[in-house]
Amino acid sequence: MEQIATWLTCREKPLQTVIAIIGENGVGKTTLASCIYQTRSVRTQFDCNIWIHLPQKFRVVDILIDIILQTITSVDMTEAKKNLRGKDEEALMQELAEKLSKKKYLIVLDDVRRLEELKFFLAVLPAQKENEESAILITAQIKSPNPPAANSSGQLEYMTGRIHKKEVTSAAWLQLCHHYVELKKLEKGQGREMFCRRLFGESDFPSGFRKMHVHSKALESLLDQSLPLAVTLLAGLLRTKKEDEWTDVVDLLLQYSKHNNNGDDKIEKEEATKPNLEDEGNRESKQQEQEKEEEIMEQLQIGEGQHQGEQHQREAGQQGEQQQVEQQAETQNQIKPVGGLFRNQPLIKKILILSFDDLPSYLKQCLLYFAAFKAEEDIDAEKIIRLWVAEGLVQATDGHTMEEHAEDCLKMLISRCLINLVQVGYNNKIITVSIHESVLDFAMSEARDSNFLQVHHSTTDLPRAAIRRLSLQNAFDTHTRLNLSTPKLRSLLCEFPEAPSDDHRKNITNCYSHSIQQVRMVITGRINNDLNICRCTFLRVIDLKGTVQEFTLPEEIGWLVHLRYLGLADSRLRGLPSSVKKLRSLQTLDITNTDVDSVPQEFWNLKALRHVLARHLKKGPRQVHSLNNLQTLHGVPWGRWVHEKKRLTNLRSLQVWNLSTSKRCKALLTYLASLECLTSLDLEVKEGAQIQLDRLLIMPVLRNLGSLKIHGPVQATEQSYSYLLPNLSKLELCGSGLNQNHIDMIAGLPNLLELILGKDSYMHQDMSIPPNGFRELRKLRFNGLPELVKWHVQSSADGVLSSLSHLEHLCIFSCAKLELIPDYLLKLENLVQLTFHDLPKLLMLPSLGKFSSKNPTLVLGE
């Protein structure tokens, strides 16, 4: 790590230094690159720091857009992304060159797979005199062109070298790099230390451990010459077991790892490629059993879509039988780690097999569901939880909702190191996760073999078998056709690439035609009988991710009486048909970032509804007596539902707009007084109305509220309060017209971690942070405060740093009159990054060398 950091920060380097981290899968290339990328001493050397993960299949325009967005310091990323989506590859390349011109940049290209990819990015990224001392760091699964040499201690931790033009090897593409580092397997002692840190939080086994367990030496022997990923997975597996059970696991791995440790790769490959007739026979037998079970399910549920007057009790009973039979079919196929097939697997695969076999049946299905996503891709935790619930993979237990149980399942998979935690909120709520490529390959294989889920990258030559769940990861074709004959399909998860808007202008007929076909073929099968929902009556999940040209769903969508999840986010969907009111099993409707502005009023009578996510609906529900299970309600206007005696007491997240009068604001506050479970609240107040911010912040019933966003004016306050919301961690205000009294009140929130003061949220020249104010704040952002000239932080009487003492990130955007930055910031020891953009009157920037914190990063916008 130190060597790479030296290469990156060296002043005597060419215009564009290219450094490669190479090694086999699971050796820790991405982890090392991430550590270097996040190191302050490295980041401060560059004007732009950009991280790009390259999927196995991708479109160049998507990667270019990602790079450009990471060069933009403006907070209005939505508008910037919208503008970029309308450009072709050539225009994006030109804009990228403009964005990076006269800047020193560091770009990490994670998981480069092909020589053509590397050559392309080296050609696209500017390497002029103005970009002197820029750097590109890549990770790739290739071997070193030279045999490794032992270091002074005789260990082969990694190999460093310099590529020369004369070398012609299987890894000749490394000639494009100036330096490379080849990561090797862990040496003696390194595996044990990494394992102990993962499991015990210290560098060695606890005292008495080796005396109590005779297998400690065997464990150490197993970890030597292993990959870091294998150590991490083993730690996750043993974390869930008692210490007296470790012997069985370690001995099993050692017993079947002798051949691998002796390096007999050739024999392993030959054995692995031999056809296993017994395994094929078992697979055929299990397939026949599944076919028989699914025929029973058909008999149980035939005609449900045609007889809509059927009694609810009978319907619920049939769905329960379907779920029971289906879960039995999905959990009966388990891997047993015995025999030659297990012996011939690499250590990582063996540990994955044991980890999977150790999972309870519901966790196995939750893990296999990740096969529908991409490796190293940020996955929205709330979305995967809603999908699990819709699939029936989790159930409500011990007074907890299904969503809460699903979140616990996600935490268990993270604890077992099978899923990676990417981002967690300040309130410890999981935001995004990802899955390692090796774990994903295993999950895809298991899902395919058990007929749990199949993944395809194109629509040609799809199998005609009884596919239960289909994930179509289409990275290129904007004219997709689904030629399916799958009457037993349960779930359809699709990702459509976005067609550039220029194509729409040039050939509006073709684009409109293929977009309509794209959606109608998925839903109705009217064209070429591609997917006929008359024979897909078991569909539970439809998720069509991606932006296409304008379209509407057909009326036939109402036939899918078992549909529980309908995801149409980020598309140009114009409207919903009236037949959505017939989707009596629907739990989740996601139409965020679409043009849909209305739903049938009867839609709100669906008793199964749990999550409704929209942008701006013209009308909300008139009555809410049927919405006992509703937890998420986004994009609804203020309306009659606020005056209903029936309260949505299970709501966790609420977004309301069209609060046009102060009277409506007061009525809403009265309504909120009964929502004890609410954790997130987003209000849009129109000009002319005012909402009482102080009343919101002192309501005891909102003690669970963690996030509050108000867009619009707030009422002035002159009082101080002893009680403020104890769990509010994020507050965002825009157009609020705050005064100093509001700042003093907000500063007293005991656990506020992030504060965003948006456009026109503060309209005075001076702002003062009171003593002991914002003691827990981690992130502070000012954006669009046109009247602010100076702000300062008051010191406490004893001179102790009490205000903003934990501040890590400070962002100031578009404050046209701001002249001074408080000197108080120089004393903050935890400050990590300062971002300034569009501050024309700022007299002087603070010198980084004067800060008490170590190596803070200063980012300056244009």
pLDDT at 312: 39
pLDDT at 373: 93
Q: How many Å apart are CA 452 and CA 438, to the nearest integer?
A: 19
Q: How many Å apart are CA 141 and CA 147, to the nearest integer?
A: 16
Q: Which residue, 841, 843, 853, 862, is CA-closest to 44?
A: 853
pLDDT at 862: 56
Q: How many Å apart are CA 400 and CA 719, to the nearest integer?
A: 39
Any idea what the Cα angle at residue 44 is, between residues 43 and 46, rounded to 5°? Answer: 75
pTM across the whole model: 0.84
Q: How many Å apart are CA 193 and CA 205, to the nearest integer?
A: 8
Confidence of residue 207 (pLDDT cuts 50, 70, 90): confident
pLDDT at 545: 74
If you average pLDDT over each of 273-287, 293-307, 431-445, which comes out highest? 431-445
Q: What is the pLDDT of residues 658-695, one digit of tens each?
A: 999 989 999 999 999 999 999 999 999 998 899 999 99
Q: What is the pLDDT of residues 527-569, one digit of tens each?
A: 444 445 556 778 999 998 765 556 677 788 898 999 999 998 8
520 Cβ partners below 8 Å, 6+ apart? 526, 527, 551, 554
User: In the β-sheet with 420-424, what is the strand arrangement from edge to edge?
Assistant: 379-380, 430-434, 420-424
pLDDT at 280: 42
Q: How many Å apart are CA 61 and CA 84, to the nearest integer?
A: 9
Q: Which residue, 630, 622, 590, is CA-closest to 606?
A: 630
Q: What is the pLDDT of residues 647-666, one digit of tens each?
A: 899 999 999 999 999 899 99
pLDDT tops 50 at residue 220: yes
Contact 571, 594 (CB under 8 A): yes
What's the residue count for the chain?
862
Contact 266, 274 (CB under 8 A): no
Three state DSSP letters for 658-687:
EECCHHHHHHHHHHHCCCCCCCEEEEEECC
pLDDT at 442: 95
pLDDT tops 70 at residue 838: yes
Mean pLDDT of 747-769: 94
Q: How many Å apart are CA 93 and CA 154, to the nearest integer?
A: 47
SS3 content of the chain, % helix, strand, coil (to 5): 35, 15, 45
pLDDT tops 80 at residue 218: no
Q: How many Å apart are CA 290 and CA 676, to the nearest integer?
A: 45
pLDDT at 712: 95
If you average pLDDT over each of 93-102, 205-214, 538-547, which comes out highest? 93-102
